[in-house]
């Protein structure tokens, strides 16, 4: 794990490196730095390195100048004259690095011109025209490529006829077709030949760019990358496959097709979201995996929707077929949980790749129906696996994301996930996206489901090349997959394969497609499937015989039949067979109900506190902002007084876990400083860019790595990412913080579909912590409430069931519930609940309402004694003032949760009711502390019981706690509500009204 320490890379100027001790930097490896710098250079738009000639005017301007100069050197400015005379202009400057075809024009004999003589202006004009044509094919060829197997959707984009698209000013006639043209350095179509007849140039370009592959790449801002792609598609012979390769494709296609046919035969009325019409996706995935494994990848993490999922599990992952067939049998489950439908389940397989003879791990991450929601989860899981393996460049672990065409362009999370792809703390070093583009989404045609020409256009924002390919041409598909895998291994950037196929049946096997797409389906009915087309081709060219084709298909059918018979002997399904992230060794040998202590030695707290409140050691020249010097001094004073505020309590939790070898990762918007400017985990040198110091990374020499990362402004993708990260290793504290709690609702499907229900559906645990700033502090409808009621409503503990009381009551409740929801009122309790995440013998997500004004509240401080050995998390904090000391005199008990406690105590003091009113804090709201609530109520036998909250009555914790109070009290006493009335909005926008409402609630609560 500690190797991962060096996974961070940060480019510093050489000056900064010289001046500051290496421990100031996130990475001290100069090699890494060079890489990071190089990467940054590639990303940066640089006019020399970029591809402005594609659409820009600079190159054509230079060309024009050159042309004019050739005609009459005096017609251009003297600077151009000097430039061209110096022979600097061999080719456009942006094309300079390409070495192919560098012979000067004069070396050629053009249509009778004497070799060696200066070319005439027509020759030059015609050459420039040919160059323009070549470039035009490269830029727009994909628009007219034959991508649609059904040939329904015109291969031409609206308004583009093929000649208009490609040759804007085509002035050549038949007579020019045999003329020889020197090939520019921007093309590889010539192979070893420096010139070709025009006819041949057009033929080759047509074949490369307008046949069954449409390459979209000329928008990429890197000449190197553009040339790399040109070379892989233009070089003559790239599409030649050996007979062995062809047979392998045929065999794989036979399995993919045979699998769907077998399911259709055996389970004709079951939904399986068959892949028919795009079966080539299976050989495609296998090709990507083969090539990537050959190039060093050992682990592939995949995310995919319903379509073709079972086929992928069977034929890509090689999940035992009997396990898959068992899912159709409607059997009882052998393990806990509610399970999920078969086309959502995940898997994890380690096996030998027979093509490369290397061991690989394949995981398909379980996902919900919510299309594309799994994308960031896969990325987080991939990133985590890379991190724990010390795979800093993504050479060993990679992700593949498979998409439907409608979802890929329709779902915003695709865009959000794409934007993580190149961020230092979120990159997975290149993802291969595969779109199973069946040109339909349920019943909706593309023309009604997107405004962009292609369903893949979203990928252009990150400069990912897009390889469109006709799914009926298996060899073209394999070539594209090979290039995609090599692209990722070379540049470690995303790319997209758009497999353009069709959907042979309805959306699922029960749907009738003719209702809505009659013409399309008339065509599909007449269309031969890809396997038959390919088999015919191979038979015709003599690569295989008809018998061979039949025997391969029969052999696979036999395999299916045997597995089918085996599946019939099963009596139960096992959800564990479908786990995508097994935690080997974590549960074994553990007492499932034993929580390790969360208090630590006081000296540890002091050590962490001192480090956390100090500037970088031995670096007097590190200039810290004056305001931060004051923050550090205040922290130091607190440590000296053995007190902790919120930021210090959090640092104590992180630091002590790091000491114990637990990796801590905190991510979210502006988390490094903290939205409320309280955290300051990263100190910035005031004079040197990017020179930073993070004391939590330097607590102990042998500590686990700490990472804190300001994220992109996305909740959906980033929360999904962190959830995925948390799935990989249970021995890590992974936290995501919302800027304000209410923003978490833009990530609602991650919360609903993964975090709250992941364990139940997919036997997958996660200890992810969500930090949600919450509190009604007059900031208006937003920025006030994290909508804790929503989280509580999803808690799975039964309001009417009081579990048996025992010493293990608390931990058993945690074991049985889906997640924990808490609103802590002290730094010590915050510290303990964070540490408890790791101390538990299992993992549960933790939803924490976190404070805003309490971050600086003078009373919201905890003594070290509440965090040191012997102390622990308090589910309920009883009243420990005069009321608690004399409970029989108490007239009223106010139960509350979170920051309102401080307002309530203040009012109680002002009203001098300390002996009459007890205030009890419910710190862990869910699972509900039935036992302790009962204990508290029993303590105050004669008192009226109320629940006070600052949220509106239909919000906050009330609706959750009310029935549970009654259960805790065995319905023998009542508990009433004090607080704001019901409201549609979370909070008023008027400060005056806010204060009025708050005073009313405080007066109501603190009165006898």
Ligand X SMILES: Cc1ncc(C[n+]2csc(CCOP(=O)(O)OP(=O)(O)O)c2C)c(N)n1
What is the smallest separation between the CB atom of 744 and Mg ion, expressed in angstroms?
30
Which residue lies nearer to Mg ion by CB, 24 or 477? 477
Which residue lies nearer to ligand X by CB, 369 or 1003? 369
What is the smallest separation between the CB atom of 343 and ligand X, expressed in angstroms?
11
The helix (run of H) or strand (run of E) holding residue 361 is: strand 358-364
Binding residues among 350-379 for ligand X as defined by CB under 6 A: 369-371
What is the smallest separation between the CB atom of 311 and Mg ion, expressed in angstroms?
16
Nearest to 914 by CA among 898, 937, 894: 894
Closest residue to ligand X, judged by C-beta, is 404
Out of 440, 524, 544, 1002, the only residue in the binding site for ligand X (CB under 6 A) is 440
What is the smallest separation between the CB atom of 340 and ligand X, expressed in angstroms?
13
Helix, strand, coil shares of the chain as percentages rounded to 5? 45, 15, 45
Nearest 10 degrees: Cα torsion 40, 41, 42, 44: 80
Q: Classify burial at 268, counting beta carbons within 10 Å of its beta carbon; exposed 0-12, middle 13-18, buried 19 or more.
A: exposed
What is the smallest separation between the CB atom of 505 and Mg ion, expressed in angstroms?
12
Task: Give φ, ψ of 747 to 5 degrees.
Answer: -110, 25
Out of 436, 644, 788, 943, the only residue in the binding site for ligand X (CB under 6 A) is 436
Where on the chain is the footprint of Mg ion (CB under 5 A)?
404-406, 438, 440-441
Which residue lies nearer to ligand X by CB, 5 or 403? 403
Which residue lies nearer to Mg ion by CB, 501 or 775? 501
Which residue lies nearer to ligand X by CB, 408 or 895? 408
Contact between 499 and ligand X by CB under 6 A: the answer reads no
List Cβ neighbours of 498 (8 Å cut-off, separation of 6 or more). 147, 405, 435, 437, 454, 455, 456, 466, 467, 468, 469
What is the smallest separation between the CB atom of 455 and ligand X, expressed in angstroms?
8
Contact between 407 and ligand X by CB under 6 A: the answer reads yes
What is the smallest separation between the CB atom of 510 and Mg ion, expressed in angstroms?
17
Which residue lies nearer to ligand X by CB, 407 or 481? 407
Contact between 441 and ligand X by CB under 6 A: the answer reads yes
Which residue lies nearer to Mg ion by CB, 506 or 674? 506
List Cβ neighbours of 888 (8 Å cut-off, separation of 6 or more). 940, 941, 942
Q: No. of H helices and E strands in the chain?
A: 34, 28
Which residue lies nearer to ligand X by CB, 276 or 473? 276
Stretch that binds ligand X, among 118-126, 434-442, 689-697, 871-879 (CB under 6 A): 434-442
For residues 815 and 336, the answer to whether their CB atoms sit within 8 Å is: no
Which residue lies nearer to Mg ion by CB, 191 or 410? 410
Binding partner at 369 among ligand X, Mg ion, none, C-beta below 5 to 8 Å by kind:
ligand X
Which residue lies nearer to ligand X by CB, 134 or 314? 314
Binding partner at 663 among Mg ion, ligand X, none, C-beta below 5 to 8 Å by kind:
none
Tokens at 277, concatenated: 């019409």
Region of 971 (left: φ > 0; alpha: ψ -120 to 50; beta: rest) is left
Binding partner at 407 among ligand X, Mg ion, none, C-beta below 5 to 8 Å by kind:
ligand X
For residues 575 and 762, the answer to whether their CB atoms sit within 8 Å is: yes
What is the smallest separation between the CB atom of 305 and ligand X, expressed in angstroms?
6
What is the smallest separation between the CB atom of 279 and Mg ion, expressed in angstroms?
15
Which residue lies nearer to ligand X by CB, 409 or 968? 409
Q: Are strands 975-980 and 944-952 parallel, antiparallel or unpaired?
A: parallel
Distance CA 468, CA 58 (A): 29
Q: Which residues of 453-490 are buried (b: 16+ CB within 10 A; e: fewer)?
A: ebbbbbbbebbbbbbbbbbbbbbbbbbbbbbbbbbbbe
Binding pattern for the stretch 611-650 against ligand X, x by CB under 6 A and - elsewhere = ----------------------------------------
What is the smallest separation between the CB atom of 599 and Mg ion, expressed in angstroms?
55
Binding partner at 468 among Mg ion, ligand X, none, C-beta below 5 to 8 Å by kind:
none
List Cβ neighbours of 901 (8 Å cut-off, separation of 6 or more). 825, 919, 921
Tokens at 384, concatenated: 């985590």
* Three-state secondary-structure class, residue 362: strand
What is the smallest separation between the CB atom of 459 and Mg ion, expressed in angstroms?
17
Contact between 283 and ligand X by CB under 6 A: the answer reads no
Contact between 993 and ligand X by CB under 6 A: the answer reads no
Stretch that binds ligand X, among 223-231, 394-402, 432-440, 650-658 (CB under 6 A): 432-440
For residues 374 and 403, the answer to whether their CB atoms sit within 8 Å is: no
For residues 552 and 543, the answer to whether their CB atoms sit within 8 Å is: no
Which residue lies nearer to ligand X by CB, 407 or 476? 407
User: How many residues lie near ligand X (CB under 6 A)?
Assistant: 16
Binding partner at 999 among ligand X, Mg ion, none, C-beta below 5 to 8 Å by kind:
none
Nearest to 413 by CA among 367, 382, 444, 447: 367
Region of 492 (left: φ > 0; alpha: ψ -120 to 50; beta: rest) is left
Which residue lies nearer to ligand X by CB, 717 or 919? 717
What is the smallest separation between the CB atom of 368 and ligand X, expressed in angstroms?
8
For residues 497 and 480, the answer to whether their CB atoms sit within 8 Å is: yes
Distance CA 793, CA 804 (A): 23
Binding partner at 436 among Mg ion, ligand X, none, C-beta below 5 to 8 Å by kind:
ligand X
What is the smallest separation between the CB atom of 405 and ligand X, expressed in angstroms?
4
C-alpha 897, offset from chain centre: 34
Out of 127, 307, 790, 964, the only residue in the binding site for ligand X (CB under 6 A) is 307
List Cβ neighbours of 338 (8 Å cut-off, separation of 6 or more). 760, 761
What is the smallest separation between the CB atom of 212 and ligand X, expressed in angstroms?
21
Binding site for ligand X (CB under 6 A): 307, 369-371, 404-407, 411, 436, 438, 440-442, 503, 507
């Amino acid at each position: 794990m500690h190797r991962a320490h060096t996974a961070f890379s940060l480019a510093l100027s050489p000056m900064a490196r010289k001046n500051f001790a290496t421990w100031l930097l996130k990475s001290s490896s100069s090699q890494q730095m060079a890489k990071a710098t190089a990467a940054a250079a590639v990303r940066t738009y640089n006019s020399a390195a970029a591809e402005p000639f594609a659409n820009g005017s600079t190159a054509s301007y230079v060309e024009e100048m050159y042309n004019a100069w050739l005609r009459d050197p005096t017609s251009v400015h003297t600077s151009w004259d000097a430039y061209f005379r110096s022979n600097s202009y061999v080719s456009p400057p942006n094309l300079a690095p390409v070495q192919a075809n560098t012979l000067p024009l004069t070396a050629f004999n053009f249509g009778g011109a004497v070799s060696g003589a200066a070319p005439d202006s027509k020759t030059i004009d015609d050459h420039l025209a040919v160059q323009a044509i070549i470039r035009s094919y490269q830029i727009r060829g994909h628009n007219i490529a034959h991508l649609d197997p059904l040939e329904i959707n015109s291969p031409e984009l609206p308004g583009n006829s093929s000649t208009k698209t490609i040759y804007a000013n085509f002035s050549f006639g038949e007579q020019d077709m045999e003329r020889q043209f020197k090939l520019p350095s921007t093309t590889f179509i010539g192979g070893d030949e420096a010139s070709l007849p025009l006819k041949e140039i057009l033929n080759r370009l047509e074949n490369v760019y307008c046949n069954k592959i449409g390459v979209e790449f000329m928008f990429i801002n890197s000449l190197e990358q553009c040339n790399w792609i040109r070379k892989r598609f233009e070089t003559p012979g790239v599409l030649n496959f050996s007979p062995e390769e062809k047979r392998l494709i045929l065999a794989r296609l036979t399995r993919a097709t045979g699998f769907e046919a077998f399911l259709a035969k055996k389970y004709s009325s079951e939904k399986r979201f068959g892949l028919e019409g795009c079966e080539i996706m299976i050989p495609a995935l296998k090709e990507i995996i083969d090539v990537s494994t050959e190039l060093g990848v050992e682990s592939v993490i995949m995310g995919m929707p319903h379509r073709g999922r079972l086929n992928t599990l069977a034929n890509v992952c090689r999940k035992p077929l009997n396990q898959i067939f068992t899912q159709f049998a409607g059997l009882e489950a052998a393990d806990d949980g509610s399970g999920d439908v078969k086309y959502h389940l995940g898997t994890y397989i380690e096996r030998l790749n027979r093509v490369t003879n290397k061991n690989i791990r394949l995981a398909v991450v379980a996902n919900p129906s919510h299309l594309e929601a799994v994308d960031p989860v896969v990325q987080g899981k991939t990133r985590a696996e890379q991190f724990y393996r010390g795979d800093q460049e993504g050479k060993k672990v990679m992700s593949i994301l498979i998409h439907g065409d409608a979802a890929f362009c329709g779902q915003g999370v695709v865009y959000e996930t794409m934007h993580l792809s190149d961020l230092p703390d979120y990159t997975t070093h290149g993802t291969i996206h595969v779109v199973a583009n069946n040109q339909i989404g349920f019943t909706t045609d593309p023309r009604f489901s997107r405004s962009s020409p292609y369903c893949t256009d979203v990928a252009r924002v990150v400069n990912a090349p897009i390889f469109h390919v006709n799914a009926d041409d298996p060899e073209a598909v394999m070539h594209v997959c090979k290039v995609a895998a090599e692209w990722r291994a070379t540049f470690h950037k995303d790319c997209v394969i758009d497999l353009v196929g069709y959907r042979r049946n309805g959306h699922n096997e029960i749907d009738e497609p003719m209702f809505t797409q009659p013409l399309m389906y008339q065509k599909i009915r007449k269309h031969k499937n890809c396997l038959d087309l390919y088999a015919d081709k191979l038979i015709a060219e003599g690569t295989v015989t008809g018998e061979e084709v039949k025997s391969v298909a029969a052999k696979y059918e036999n395999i299916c039949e045997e597995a089918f018979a085996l599946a019939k002997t099963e009596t139960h399904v096992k959800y564990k067979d479908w786990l995508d992230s097994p935690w080997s060794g974590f549960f074994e040998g553990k007492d499932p109900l034993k929580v390790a202590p969360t208090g630590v030695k006081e000296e540890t707290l002091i050590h962490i506190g001192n480090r956390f409140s100090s500037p970088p050691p031995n670096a007097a020249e590190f200039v810290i902002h004056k305001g931060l010097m004051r923050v550090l001094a205040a922290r130091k004073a607190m440590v000296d007084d053995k007190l902790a505020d919120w930021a210090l309590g959090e640092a104590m939790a992180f630091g002590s876990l790091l000491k114990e070898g637990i990796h801590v990762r905190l991510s979210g918007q502006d988390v490094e400083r903290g939205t409320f400017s309280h955290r300051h985990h990263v100190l910035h040198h005031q004079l040197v860019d990017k020179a930073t110091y993070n004391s939590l990374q330097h607590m102990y020499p042998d500590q686990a790595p700490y990472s804190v990362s300001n994220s992109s402004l996305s909740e959906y993708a980033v929360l999904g990412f962190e959830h995925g990260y948390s799935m990989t290793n249970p021995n890590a504290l992974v936290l995501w913080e919302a800027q304000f709690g209410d923003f978490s609702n833009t990530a609602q499907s991650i919360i609903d579909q993964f975090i709250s229900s992941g364990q139940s559906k997919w036997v997958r645990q996660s200890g992810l912590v969500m930090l949600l700033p919450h509190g009604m502090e007059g900031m208006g409808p937003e920025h006030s409430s994290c909508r804790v009621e929503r989280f509580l409503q999803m808690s799975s503990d039964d309001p009417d069931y009081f579990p048996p009381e025992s010493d293990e009551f608390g931990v058993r409740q945690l074991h049985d519930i889906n997640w924990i929801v808490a609103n802590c009122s002290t730094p010590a309790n915050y510290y303990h609940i964070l540490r408890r995440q790791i101390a538990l013998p299992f993992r549960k997500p933790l939803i924490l309402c976190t404070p805003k004004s309490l971050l600086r509240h003078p009373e919201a401080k905890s003594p070290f004694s509440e965090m040191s050995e012997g102390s622990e998390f308090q589910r309920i904090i009883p009243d420990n003032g005069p009321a608690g000391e004399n409970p029989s005199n108490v007239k009223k008990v106010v139960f509350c949760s979170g920051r309102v406690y401080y307002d309530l105590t203040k009012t109680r003091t002002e009203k001098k009711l300390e002996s009459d009113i007890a205030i009890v804090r419910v710190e862990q709201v869910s699972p509900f502390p039935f036992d302790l609530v009962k204990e508290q109520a029993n303590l105050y036998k004669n008192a009226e019981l109320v629940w006070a909250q600052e949220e509106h009555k239909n919000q906050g914790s009330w609706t959750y706690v009310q029935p549970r109070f009654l259960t805790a009290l065995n319905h023998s006493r009542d508990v009433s509500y004090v607080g704001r009335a019901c409201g549609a909005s979370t909070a008023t926008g008027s400060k005056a009204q806010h204060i009025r409402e708050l005073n009313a609630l405080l007066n109501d609560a603190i009165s006898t």
